[in-house]
Amino acid sequence: MEGGSSIMKRIAGRDHPQILTDAQGTSMNADKRSLTTIIDAQSGQLDHPVKSNINQENEKQTTSTSLLDKVSSVLSPLTSNNDVSPTLTSVNGYRLGDVSHCLNISGYPVVSDGILFEKQQTFNRSKIVERAVHACGSGAFGYFEVTRDVSSLCKADFLSKIGKITPVMVRFSTTTYGREFPDSARNPRGIAMKFYTDEGNYDILSVNFPVFFVRDPTQGPDVIRSQQRNPNNFRANCSATFDFMSLVPESMLANTWFWSDHGTPVGWRHMDAYPCHTFKWINSQNQYVYIRYKFSCLAGIKNFSDAEATRMCGEDPDYAKRDLWQHLDNGDTCEFTCQIQMMNESESKKVPDFDPFDATKIWPEDRYPFMEFGRLVLDRNPENYHRDVEQVAFSPGSLVPGIEPGPDALLLFRCFLYRDAQLYRLGVNFHQIPVNCPFMTRQYHPLVRDGRIRCDANGGVESNIYPNSFTQPPRARPDLTCNEIPQPLQGYLARKSHSRHENELPIDTEYAQARQFYLNGLNSDERAHLHYNIARAFRSVTRLDIKLRFLVACYKVHPEYAHGILKLYDEITFDQVEQAARKIQDKHTVDRTNCYEPYDLNQS
pLDDT tens for 473-513 read: 566 666 665 567 788 888 889 998 989 999 999 999 999 99
**CATH number of the structural domain spanning residue 280:** 2.40.180.10
Same domain for 292 and 153: yes
φ, ψ (nearest 5 deg) of residue 195: -100, 120
Same domain, residue pair 227 and 315: no
pTM attached to this predicted model = 0.82
Q: Is the pLDDT of residue 307 over 90?
A: yes
Has residue 465 been placed in a domain?
no
**Same domain (yes/no): 368, 412:** yes
86 in any annotated domain: no
Examine residue 497 and state whether it is found in any structural domain, yes or no.
no
Query: Are 283 and 426 members of one domain?
Result: yes
CA 246 and chain centroid, separation: 18
- pLDDT mean over 575-598: 93
Same domain, 183 and 315: yes
Note whether 189 and 56 are same-domain residues.
no
- Of the spans 17-21, 31-35, 412-416, which averages the highest pLDDT? 412-416
Segment 389-401 mean pLDDT: 92
Residue 515 has pLDDT above 70, yes or no: yes
Provide mean pLDDT across the span 453-458. 84
State the pLDDT confidence band at 452, using cuts at 50, 70 and 90: confident
The pLDDT, as a whole number, for residue 446 is 80
The structural domain count of the chain equals 3
Q: Is the pLDDT of residue 43 over 60?
A: no
Q: Residue 231's pLDDT band (boundaries 50, 70, 90)? A: very high
**Short-list 52, 57, 56, CA closest to 37:** 52
- CB-based contacts of 448, cutoff 8 Å, min separation 6: 428
**Under DSSP, is residue 132 helix (H, G, I), strand (E, B) or coil?**
coil
pLDDT of residue 29: 40
Residues 360 and 224 in one domain: no
Which pLDDT band holds residue 140 (cuts at 50, 70, 90)?
A: very high
Residue 49 scores a pLDDT above 50: no
In a domain, 92, yes or no: no
The 3-state DSSP class for residue 525 equals helix
Is 153 found in the same domain as 38?
A: no
474 in any annotated domain? no
Residue 267 lies in a domain: yes
- 423/144: higher pLDDT: 144
Last residue of some domain: 383, 417, 436?
436
Asked if the model's pLDDT at residue 39 lies above 50, the reply is no
Residues 6+ apart with CB under 8 A from 2: none
Domain of residue 330: give its range.
125-213+248-436
Q: Mean pLDDT across the stretch 460-471?
A: 80
Q: What is the pLDDT of residue 53?
A: 34
For the residues 545-568, what does the mean pLDDT come to?
98
Q: Are residues 419 and 309 in the same domain?
A: yes
Confidence at 450, pLDDT banded by 50, 70, 90: confident
Query: Which residues, including other chains, have CB under 8 Å from residue 151's CB and lie 6 or more apart?
Result: 159, 160, 161, 283, 284
Q: Does residue 243 share a domain with residue 254?
A: no
| Model pLDDT, residue 483 | 66
Provide DSSP, 478-497: GGGGGGS------S-EEES-
Q: Are 387 and 434 in contact (CB under 8 A)?
A: yes
In this structure, is residue 506 part of a structural domain?
no
CB 217 within 8 A of CB 109: yes
The sheet that has 103-105: what strands, in order across it? 108-109, 103-105, 493-495
Q: Judge if 204 and 219 occupy the same domain.
A: no
Whether residue 169 sits in one domain with residue 38: no
* pLDDT value, residue 598: 94
Q: What is the CATH number of the domain that holds 563?
A: 1.20.1370.60
- DSSP lists the bridge partners of residue 289 as 281
Q: Which residues pair with 109 in a beta bridge?
A: 104
| Alpha-carbon distance values, 396 to 201, 210, 265, 388 (Å) | 11, 16, 24, 19
Average pLDDT, the chain: 84
Rounded CA-CA distance 65/56 in Å is 17
Residue at 112 is within a domain: no
Over residues 560-571, the mean pLDDT reads 97
C-beta of residue 226 within 8 angstroms of C-beta of residue 254: no
pLDDT at 366: 97
Q: Give the pLDDT confidence of 349-378 residue by residue, as tens digits.
A: 999 999 999 999 999 999 999 999 999 999
Domain stops at, among 50, 71, 92: 71
Would you state the pLDDT for residue 96?
79
Three-point CA angle 349, 351, 356, nearest 5°: 80
Calculate mean pLDDT across residues 199-203. 94
Higher pLDDT, 165 or 8: 165
| Alpha-carbon span 260 to 521, nearest angstrom | 11
Neighbours of 14 (CB within 10 A): 17
- Give first-to-last CA distance, the chain, whole Å: 49
Of the pLDDT bands very low, low, confident and very high (cuts 50, 70, 90), residue 28 is very low
Q: What is the pLDDT of residue 197?
A: 94
Cα separation, 60 vs 112, whole angstroms: 44
Residue 477: per-residue pLDDT: 67
Q: What is the mean pLDDT of residues 146-173?
A: 97
Query: Is the predicted pLDDT of residue 245 greater than 70, yes or no?
Result: yes
Beta bridge partners of 108: 105
Tell which residue, 186, 161, 192, has the closest CA to residue 242. 186
Summarised one tens digit per residue, pLDDT across range 56-83 is 434 434 444 443 343 333 434 444 455 5
> How confident is the model at residue 537, as a pLDDT?
97
Query: Which pLDDT value is given to residue 112?
Result: 79
Q: Which of 436, 463, 489 is the last residue of a domain?
A: 436
* Mean pLDDT computed over 401-406: 94
